[in-house]
């Protein structure tokens, strides 16, 4: 191929824009697609019965022959949780990931019985990977999990840099952020920067993880009884801090929650969490120790109904029951949309007599892993990009980040606030908007990789909010006659004097069906009449639209 021919580069997100979670970013030309991250979003109460939300992979499936590699920035679920669903949907030739993320991915593959399905290659700071005519390299950043990296993609059309999730922590728990390499990249030239926007609303700097250590120590020193600390299982830095303070106060550690147990096993095996074996005890051994000799580390800080902390709060855990004198610590901030679930768990714990400690100005028991405004300004100054695309955040966060870029000298028309599916084109160092790609959400109920469509989720929301009306009619199909009056069954529908109301609606449906049976008709038309009449009636009565399910029985 003549290398002088320009092959414009497309850059787009299938997840991570307009939301916190489900991160998936793609870089594509005529020959190749590389993917950066493949995460899940954990649903709130707005998605009844759903375990995960993952990107819609249709565009990638339609271009499956171009997909060359998946690169992972770090091991959080919103960046690796969608991998099992992706690799069951299409062939991914290779995954490149940092050491800890690779270990977590291997465990995820084993759990889903697909460990031999693809090569998984670990990378470090100085690794360089050539994929087609893309050259991919890496730079270390600080985050709330070890082995977090930004990614550089050099293409014939220009350089693209993504920060991944990061914060500029100058006193980190692990290795330093590589500011020197970031500045060098900026001096060499960055055409397009994608940067983390999750904390773009917050002025100043995100506090260091070292600040949290003092706050955790303070909680331990004041807790007279048993301590239960809930955090993300992937927040390895935080778990290490809790273990260090537990050792200082001679408390035995109990690990609760399958994902927390797996994270501890992997992190200890790789040396990221250092704790003697005799400090960890099984839950059934708690009764052998005094309350002030125990600390429980568990999942459930987001109020997830099936997580360990919720089960403990509801009295459903076989080994741990809340008692007066227990102190429960939420060492994480609320993911947007999870506030109601968290409040429910906090109230339930309080009812049981626990002293509940959450994050506040007076009690820094959590430090975010994402950059605040001053860090965003610093990174923009280091990279000095020609063009800018804020990523990883809800729309208002992306917009604020774009305004921050304008403050430090990036022209407004060089900054792009996009939605999932929106596309940028990089050609000869210039970036412009292009046509969108197919995108959307896939809702995972259990482990079915096919997921649920938006239409199914719309039905679930209707059932949750407005209820259901089942209308059954019986007809003589030979003589085109209605045999019996329509039978109504209401589920979750609020209607005063419901018997009288259903009788009135039944008469309207009966009249409509009889009139229609006087002419040539079909089952589909009869169902449509039932739906229209019933929906109109209950809409006027309750000011809502319950799901209408027509059932037609026939007698030949």
Please state which CATH number belongs to domain 467-555: 3.10.20.580
Distance in angstroms (rounded) separating the CA atoms of residues 341 and 434: 40
Quick one: pLDDT band at residue 484, thresholds 50, 70, 90?
confident
- Is pLDDT larger for residue 184 or for residue 348? 184
What is the DSSP secondary structure assignment for residue 275, as one 8-state letter? Answer: -
Q: What angle do CA 47, 52, 56 make, to 5 degrees?
A: 95
The reported pLDDT for the residue numbered 171 is 86
- Domain 9-204+368-455 indexed as CATH 3.40.640.10: no
Looking only at the bridges linking them, the beta strands covering 24-28 and 33-36 are: antiparallel
Quick one: pLDDT band at residue 361, thresholds 50, 70, 90?
very low
Residue 523 above 80 pLDDT? yes
CATH 3.40.50.10710 intervals, the chain: 209-357
Q: If you write DSSP's letter for every residue of 183-202 in order, what string do you get?
A: HHHHHH--SEEEEE-TTTTS
- Can 370 be counted among the known catalytic residues? yes
What is the CATH T-level fold of the domain 209-357, as seen in this structure? Rossmann fold (3.40.50)
Cβ pair 246, 213 in contact under 8 A: no
- Dihedral angle sign, alpha carbons of residues 509, 510, 516, 521: positive
Averaged pLDDT, 484-493: 86
Question: Which of 56, 154, 196, 326 does the annotation list as catalytic?
Answer: 196
CATH 3.60.15.10 intervals, the chain: 9-204+368-455
Distance in angstroms (rounded) separating the CA atoms of residues 414 and 429: 12
**3-class SS letters over 373-435:** HHHHHHHHHHHCCCEEEEECECHHHHHHHHHHHHHCCCCHHHECCCCCCCEEEEECCEEEEEC
Distance in angstroms (rounded) separating the CA atoms of residues 75 and 146: 8
Residue 467 above 90 pLDDT? no
Lowest mean pLDDT among 25-39, 132-146, 222-236, 428-442: 222-236
Question: Which of 317, 366, 370, 401 does the annotation list as catalytic?
Answer: 370
What is the DSSP secondary structure assignment for residue 546, as one 8-state letter? Answer: P
Distance in angstroms (rounded) separating the CA atoms of residues 153 and 68: 14
What is the per-residue pLDDT across 291-333, written as a single tens digit (0 to 9) for each?
A: 889 999 988 877 777 788 888 888 888 888 888 988 888 877 6
What is the per-residue pLDDT across 385-402, written as a single tens digit (0 to 9) for each?
A: 999 999 999 999 999 999
CA 393 to chain centre: 11
Averaged pLDDT, 236-252: 89
Give the predicted TM-score (pTM) of the model: 0.78
Quick one: pLDDT band at residue 403, thresholds 50, 70, 90?
very high
SS3 229: strand
Cα dihedral 332→335→338→341 (10° resolution):
-10
Give the burial string for 51-75 (b: 16+ CB within 10 Å, else e).
bbbbbbbebbeeeeeebbbbbbbbb
Residue 499 above 80 pLDDT? no
Quick one: pLDDT band at residue 12, thresholds 50, 70, 90?
very high
The backbone torsions φ and ψ at residue 425, rounded to the nearest 5 degrees and listed phi first, read -120, 130
Cβ pair 192, 160 in contact under 8 A: yes
- Cβ partners under 8 Å of residue 237, min gap 6: 144, 145, 146, 172, 173, 174, 209
Average pLDDT, the chain: 87
- Can 392 be counted among the known catalytic residues? no
What is the per-residue pLDDT across 112-155, written as a single tens digit (0 to 9) for each?
A: 777 666 799 999 999 999 999 999 999 999 998 889 999 999 99
């Amino acid at each position: 191929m003549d290398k002088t021919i320009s092959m414009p580069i497309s850059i787009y997100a299938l997840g991570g824009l307009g939301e916190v979670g489900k991160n998936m970013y793609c870089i594509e030309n005529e020959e190749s697609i590389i993917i950066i991250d493949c995460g899940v979003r954990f649903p709130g109460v707005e998605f009844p019965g759903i375990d995960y939300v993952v990107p819609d992979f249709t565009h990638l499936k339609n271009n499956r022959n171009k997909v060359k590699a998946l690169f992972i920035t770090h091991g959080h679920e919103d960046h690796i949780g969608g991998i099992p669903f992706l690799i069951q949907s299409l062939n991914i030739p290779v995954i490149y990931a940092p050491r800890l993320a690779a270990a977590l991915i291997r465990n995820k593959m084993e759990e889903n019985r697909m460990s031999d399905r693809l090569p998984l290659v670990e990378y470090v700071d100085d690794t360089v990977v050539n994929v087609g005519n893309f050259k991919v390299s890496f730079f270390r950043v600080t985050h709330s999990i070890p082995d977090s990296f930004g990614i550089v993609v050099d293409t014939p059309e220009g350089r693209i840099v993504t920060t991944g999730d990061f914060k500029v922590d100058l006193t980190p728990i692990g290795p330093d952020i590589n500011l020197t390499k970031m500045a060098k990249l900026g001096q060499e030239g960055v055409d397009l920067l994608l940067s983390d926007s999750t904390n773009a609303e917050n002025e100043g700097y995100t506090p260091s993880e070292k600040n949290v250590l003092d706050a955790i120590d303070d909680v331990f020193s004041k807790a007279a009884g048993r301590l239960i600390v809930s955090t993300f299982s992937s927040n390895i830095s935080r778990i290490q801090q809790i273990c260090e303070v537990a050792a200082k106060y001679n408390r035995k550690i109990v690990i609760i929650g399958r994902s927390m147990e797996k994270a501890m096993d992997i992190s200890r095996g790789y040396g990221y969490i250092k704790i003697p074996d005799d400090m960890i005890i099984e839950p059934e051994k708690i009764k052998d120790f005094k309350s002030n000799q125990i600390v429980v580390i568990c999942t459930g800080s987001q109020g997830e109904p099936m997580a360990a902390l919720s089960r403990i709060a509801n009295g459903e855990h076989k080994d741990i029951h809340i008692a007066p004198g227990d102190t429960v610590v939420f060492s994480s901030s609320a993911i947007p949309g999870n506030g109601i679930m968290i409040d429910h768990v906090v109230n339930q714990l309080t009812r049981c007599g626990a002293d509940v400690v959450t994050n506040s100005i007076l009690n820094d028991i959590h430090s975010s892993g994402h950059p605040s405004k001053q860090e965003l300004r610093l990174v923009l100054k280091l990279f000095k990009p020609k063009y800018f695309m804020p990523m990883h955040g809800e729309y208002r966060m992306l917009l604020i980040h774009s305004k921050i870029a304008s403050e430090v000298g990036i022209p407004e028309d060089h900054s792009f606030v996009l939605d999932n599916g929106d596309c940028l084109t990089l050609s000869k160092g210039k970036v412009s908007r292009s046509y969108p790609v197919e995108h959307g959400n896939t809702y995972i109920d259990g482990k079915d990789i096919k997921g649920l469509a938006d239409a199914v989720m719309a039905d679930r929301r209707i059932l949750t909010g407005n209820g259901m009306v089942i209308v059954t009619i019986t007809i003589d199909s030979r003589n085109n006659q209605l045999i019996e009056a329509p039978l109504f069954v209401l589920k979750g529908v609020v209607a005063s004097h419901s018997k009288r109301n259903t009788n009135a609606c039944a008469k309207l449906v009966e009249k409509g069906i009889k009139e229609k049976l006087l002419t040539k008709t079909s089952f589909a038309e009869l169902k449509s009449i039932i739906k229209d009449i019933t929906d109109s009636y209950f809409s006027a009565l309750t000011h809502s639209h319950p799901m209408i399910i027509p059932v037609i029985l026939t007698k030949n």
